[in-house]
Chain A
Amino acid sequence: MLTYLIRRILYVIPICLGVTVLVFGLVHLAPGDPLSAVVPPDAPEEMVQELRVAYGFDKPLPIQYATWLGRVLTGDLGVSVARGREVTSELALAVPNTLILAVGGTLLGFTLGAFFGGVAGYFQGRWIDKLATGIAITGVSVPHYWLGLVLVIIFSVEMNVLPAIGMGPNGSSTWVWDTEHMKHLVLPIITLSVIPMGIITRTVRATVAEILNQEFVQALHAKGLLNHQVLMHVVTNAAPTTLAVMGIQLGYLLGGSILVETVFQWPGTGSLLNSAIFERDIPLLQGTILVLAMFFVFLNLLVDLVQSAIDPRMVR
């Protein structure tokens, strides 16, 4: 177990390095000169050259990468070109806001998905299964920004019970645990939860059905366990797969909520990415993607560790 742990944790190092290479490469894969965003097209050639040297763009790529990586490792993600502020401080504002949405959306999606999926798997083939499966398919098929708009129209425009945009009253961009902020949370979280709900429903349904078909469930009944005791075994057996899927969904929500954050004007990493892309703000873009990718890597590590703690067969 311990060697597995250490090995699994050591694996993270090359993965992280790979991520930095990709994120760095992004700038140079993107068409156009990275400076073209900052420098007006009619700027004198000398000035461009000067800037190029100042940003280190005149050096060979590997050296640029090494210097960049060196700075990243010391926690310096550079300065946002468009906003003129440290990328890290921009992220420090946006990441918690996105975390609130992503965790909330995942938890809601997970709870509903586990419930629907469990019921569907347990009553496989009956009407209740068909209902739950129908909800799941609808969930994964509906474009969620569209759903967000529809929810806004219903609850904000027509019924006027929930705020349409923003994170709190008066364009607040720091989270406070009060009812006003909570109200702003409702629609985005529902919108975000729909896809994970659908995916988790399908996963849990398939997993539960598969487990129930296994002989050991018969053996558990044969030794006289009561239904809820057998259910405990089924839940524990379904947990590793379900957790893995939930971890991945949380990862997607962390990075993939650009559309939803834009619809609701939520000041998180999605909005940050959105404006970084439109303003060709390379350092901000790089920094945000790097941080999100790292979240993803560590989330996967966490999922693996939890999985192996539950299922002894995973530890090899």
Chain B
Amino acid sequence: MSELRTSANQPIVDVRNLEVTFVSRDSTVNAVNGVNFTLQPGEVLCILGESGSGKSVTLRALMRLLPRQAQISGCVTVGGKDVLSLTERKLADLRGSEIAMIFQEPAVSFDPIYTVGRQITESIRRHENVSGAEAQQRALDLFERVQIPSPERRLRAFSHELSGGMRQRAMIALALACQPSVLLADEPTTALDATVQIQILLLLRELQRELGMAVIFVTHDVGVAVEIADRIAVMYAGRFVEIGPTKKIINSPQHPYTKGLLSSTVNSSSRGKRLKAIPGSPPDMTQLPIGCAFGPRCDHVHPACRAQVPAETQLAGVDDYMVRCLLADGPLELT
């Protein structure tokens, strides 16, 4: 009984102290600076944050899909496997079968001179020992599943022959080809028209529920996050400054950055009010301050904030809610 329980609580993704640095001759970019989180099977986590905060790098680090000059440290476990210490071969076995990725720009994410169908069957046959005909049938089923009209013809098409929405559907089909238990989606709708965005979003949510995948979804759009996420993580300067259940974060954000982010987004409660931009500019990732990276832009900044990076604090009385701010529930009073 107790054993069953622990296995049910076994997270499918476990990230401890993830740090990613890009080292080149003339600069060192601290893109990710200590990210911690876990993801349960079937859970949807949204990562929110402004441009350059390290969302894509975090996502790619989960599959070790980073260029050579990236130095990754910490611990990343996916489906019980230690991603950062796997051999190349084992890593390749994991990618696409257990953890798959949907890219932001479907237009450039397919090989332009192979048919989309071939790229899907290629993936299936890479991970499973099936015949060509069987893989072909699977690809067809996938195309039907992501609601691509005339799927047989579309399988024989090249990426440039498909519309933007269709390409993203094909990309989703490709990602789902081997029934991954974790799906990473890096702003999968940003490159699309507004109406198509909603369709793709609905499709993703439907597929997620049907297949019970865990999903990490990166977005700029608070509305999207509210719509699909079980939990939201807010990222700033390569750290999660706040992570917790969607409702809780939206209704009572703790971190001043989250508050700013939410009030700078038009939603029903703030309709009619002026959109409030967060004053100041994003931090320089090559030279982060010693203390809280948001300090220089924060209205409530306290001398203690400049001394060291605020530790991750579990919010009292709320399950599974972490915030990195001295002011939140912490030793300091709001000024």
- The answer to whether B103 and A223 have CB atoms under 8 Å apart is no
Q: How far is the CA of A219 from the CA of B92 in the complex (A)?
A: 12
Q: Is the CB of B109 within 8 A of A219?
A: yes
- A313 proximity list for chain B (CB < 8 A): 112-113, 158, 160
Extra pairs beyond A218-B109, A225-B92, A226-B92 (12, CB < 8 Å): A214-B108, A215-B108, A220-B111, A222-B65, A222-B96, A223-B100, A223-B122, A224-B126, A236-B113, A311-B112, A312-B113, A312-B160
Number of interface residues of B (CB under 8 A): 31
A15 contacts the other chain (CB 8 A): no
Enumerate chain A interface residues (CB-CB to B < 8 A). Answer: 214-216, 218-227, 229, 233, 236-237, 310-313
- Nearest residue, chain B, Cβ from A224: B96
Nearest-Cβ distance from residue B47 to partner chain A, whole angstroms: 18
Q: Give the chain B neighbours of A312 by CB distance below 8 A.
A: 112-113, 158, 160-161
Known: A310-B113, A312-B158. A222 touches B108 (CB 8 A): no
Nearest CB in chain B: distance from A220 CB, A: 7
Report the separation of the CA atoms of residues A80 and B92 in the bound assembly, to the nearest whole angstrom. Answer: 67
A218 touches B113 (CB 8 A): no
Quick check: is B95 within 8 A (CB to CB) of the other chain? yes
Measured CA separation A310–B113 after assembly (Å): 7
> Contact at B111–A216, with CB atoms within 8 Å?
yes
Q: List B residues 96-134 near A (Cβ within 8 Å).
A: 96-97, 100-101, 103, 105, 108-114, 122-123, 126-127
The answer to whether the Cβ of B274 comes within 8 Å of any Cβ in the partner chain is no
Q: How far is the CA of A265 from the CA of B114 in the complex (A)?
A: 48
Instruction: Determine whether the beta carbon of B88 is less than 8 Å from that of A223.
Output: no
Q: Is the CB of B142 closer than 8 A to any CB of chain A?
A: no
Docked pose: A233 CA to B114 CA in angstroms: 9
The distance from the CB of A79 to the nearest CB of chain B, in whole angstroms, is 50
Taking a contact as CB atoms under 8 Å apart, the answer to whether A222 and B100 are in contact is yes
Contact of A237 among B65, B92, B113, B158 (CB under 8 A): B113
- Report B278-326 residues with CB < 8 Å from chain A CB: none
Contact of B93 among A215, A221, A224 (CB under 8 A): A224
Q: List 24 A-B contacts (CB under 8 A).
A: A215-B109, A216-B109, A218-B65, A219-B110, A221-B95, A222-B65, A223-B96, A223-B123, A224-B97, A224-B127, A225-B123, A225-B126, A229-B122, A236-B114, A237-B111, A310-B113, A311-B113, A312-B112, A312-B158, A312-B160, A312-B161, A313-B112, A313-B113, A313-B158
A236 to B112, CA, bound (A): 10
Contacts of A218 in B (CB 8 A): 65, 103, 109
Give the chain A neighbours of B89 by CB distance below 8 A: 226
Q: Provide the bound-state CA to CA distance between A313 and B108, in Å.
A: 14
**Residues from 16 to 65 in B contacting A, C-beta threshold 8 Å:** 63, 65
Q: How far is the CA of A142 from the CA of B94 in the complex (A)?
A: 50
- Majority SS of interface residues in chain A? helix
Given the complex, which residues of A lie within 8 Å of B112, measured CB to CB?
216, 237, 311-313
B100 cross-chain contacts in A, Cβ below 8 A: 222-223
Closest B residue to A216 by beta carbon equals B111
**Using an 8 Å CB-CB cutoff, how does the interface string of B122-151 with A read, 1 for contact, 0 for none?**
110011000000000000000000000000
Separation of A236 and B101 alpha carbons in the complex (Å) = 24
Determine if A222 and B122 form an interchain contact, defined as CB atoms under 8 angstroms apart: no
Which of these, B110, B123, B126, B177, contacts A216 with CB under 8 Å?
Answer: B110
B95: chain A residues within 8 A (beta carbon): 221-224
Q: Which residues of B contact A310 (CB under 8 A)?
A: 113
B174 touches A (CB below 8 Å): yes
Most chain B CB atoms below 10 A, which of A218, A236, A313: A218
The interface residues of chain B lying within 8 Å CB-to-CB of A214 are 108
Instruction: Name A233's closest neighbour in chain B (CB-CB).
Output: B111
Smallest Cβ distance from B183 to chain A, in angstroms?
A: 11
Contacts of B175 in A (CB 8 A): 223
> Which B residues lie within 8 Å of A233 (CB)?
111, 114
Q: How many angstroms between the C-alpha atoms of A313 and B160 in the bound complex?
A: 8
Residue among A215, A222, A227, A311 making CB contact with B63, cutoff 8 Å: A222
A256 to chain B, nearest CB (A): 32
Residue of A216, A223, A236, A313 ringed by the most chain B CB atoms within 10 A: A223
Chain B's closest residue to A226 (CB) is B92
Instruction: Give me the 7 closest cross-chain CB pairs, A-B, nearest first.
Output: A224-B96, A223-B96, A224-B95, A215-B108, A223-B123, A219-B109, A222-B101
